[in-house]
Amino acid sequence: MICCDLPPPPFHLYPFAMNPFEIETDAATGVTPAARDAALRSERESHKLEKRLCRQVGQAIIDYNMIEEGDKVMVCVSGGKDSYGLLDILLKLQARAPIHFELVAVNLDQKQPGFPDHILPDYLKQLGVPFHIETQDTYSIVKRVVPEGKTMCSLCSRLRRGILYRVADELGVTKIALGHHRDDMLQTFFLNMFFAGKLKAMPAKLVSDDGDHMIIRPLAYVAEKDLERWAQHKAFPIIPCSLCGSQENLQRKQIGNMLRDWEKQYPGRTETMLTSLQNVVPSHLMDPRQHDFRSLKTTGVASADGDKAFDAEDFPVPTLTPMPFAATPGARKIHIALSPT
Ligand code: SF4
């Protein structure tokens, strides 16, 4: 997609020879030089974004040994921006990878009212990727079983998981790829910390709860906003995710807002938090199951990584991006009376 809607550049950016009030228009196309420049800029940005997405997904695949020679990867596609992006980037990497692996896109049509069941088959056919649409009316089951007003998501996702594992067996796949991204992982980390008292995020690679399937999350390093921009650029035919009428998970939404506010105030914080999940120091946490505190003995050997027990730790001072007062979460106006000295 080429965006031609950008405003023209400021006056001082025009070359001297060009008078912006006498912009020439290409007689054949009707395109002005400013519009052409904007389109070129937009193309360059999209190219950079594509490179970044491929690099980050490729890196996650290498770091966690997600895909190996001869793998058959089932890519779960829901019709949302994340899973479209996942499939798109995996297809690009498949074309360039030095190893051979197969991809098969799988969508589960849960028979939610109004689900446009032609969109995904049409898109996947046009893409030329092998695919399978599994139709199972879990919507009616969930509606029947879950009392009105209660959240349906946990039963719905349990049913979906079972069906997808069965489909994976029938298709003979060796890996199941899900479209969770960096921000999903961090949200899960904070949800577990705040509401379950656990330091636990979403793993980039794991064995399924039934012990039979290998689940991978190749978007583990990818920012949600990059997937949004990529979906716009590629004009993916997005299927709305609110068809089931279920309430959005309020806690996840709040944590998402908290992370976005932090990122606005302290650019780069999200990336640092993700890095911290890869830099765990169990000896400096408090879980005796992860570190044997009880039988700890002195070693007489200095540790470069060790705690300076009595010293305060030094951290870089964060650069604060000022937020408008009204946009600061929980901001309240207070009046301070200063007494004359
Ligand atoms: S939002 Fe709807 S489709 Fe998604 S898990 Fe919840 S009930 Fe199921």
Domain annotation covers residue 312: no
- Within a domain: 12: no
Pocket test for ligand 1, best of 151, 242, 246, 248 (most atoms within 8 A of CB): 246
CB of residue 283 inside a 6 A radius of ligand 1 = no
Question: What atom in ligand 1 is closest to the CA of residue 244?
Answer: 2
Q: Please spell the DSSP secondary structure of 142-168, one letter per residue.
A: HHHHSPTTS--HHHHHHHHHHHHHHHH
List the domain range (segments joined by +) for residue 93.
35-241+248-269
Q: Is residue 310 part of a domain?
A: no
Query: Which of 145, 157, 160, 249 maximizes ligand 1 atoms within 8 Å of its Cβ, making it the mutation to test the pocket?
Result: 157
Residue 100 lies in a domain: yes
Distance 274 CA to ligand 1 centre (A): 27
Q: Is residue 29 part of a domain?
A: no
pLDDT in tens, 173-210: 999 999 999 999 999 999 999 999 999 999 999 999 98
Given this model, what pLDDT does residue 25 score? 62
Task: List, for the chain, all residue ranges whose pLDDT scores fall below the cut of 70.
Answer: 1-27, 246-248, 309, 320-341
Q: Ligand 1 in contact with 153 (CB < 6 A)? A: yes
> Quick check: CB of 157 below 6 Å from ligand 1?
yes
Q: Is residue 176 part of a domain?
A: yes
Q: How far is the CA of 8 from the centre of ligand 1 (A)?
A: 43
pLDDT at site 322: 63
User: Which ligand 1 atom is at minimum distance from the Cα of 153?
Assistant: 6
The Cα–Cα gap between 83 and 231 comes to: 10
CATH of the domain at 41: 3.40.50.620
At residue 192, the pLDDT reads: 97
Q: What is the pLDDT of residue 336?
A: 39
Ligand 1 atom nearest to CA at 138:
8
* Residue 108 neighbours by CB distance under 10 Å: 19
- How far, in Å, from the CA of 193 to the mean position of ligand 1? 23
C-alpha dihedral sign at 253, 258, 261, 263? negative
CA–CA distances in Å: residue 250 to residues 78, 103, 124, 190: 21, 34, 33, 14
Q: Which atom of ligand 1 is nearest to the CA of 248?
A: 1
Residue 309: predicted pLDDT = 66
CA distances from residue 148 to 2, 137, 143, 144, 245 in whole angstroms, order as listed: 46, 18, 8, 9, 11
Ligand 1 mean position, distance from CA 253 (Å): 15
Query: Does residue 19 lie within any of the structural domains?
Result: no
Number of domains in the chain: 1
Beta pairing partners, 175: 73
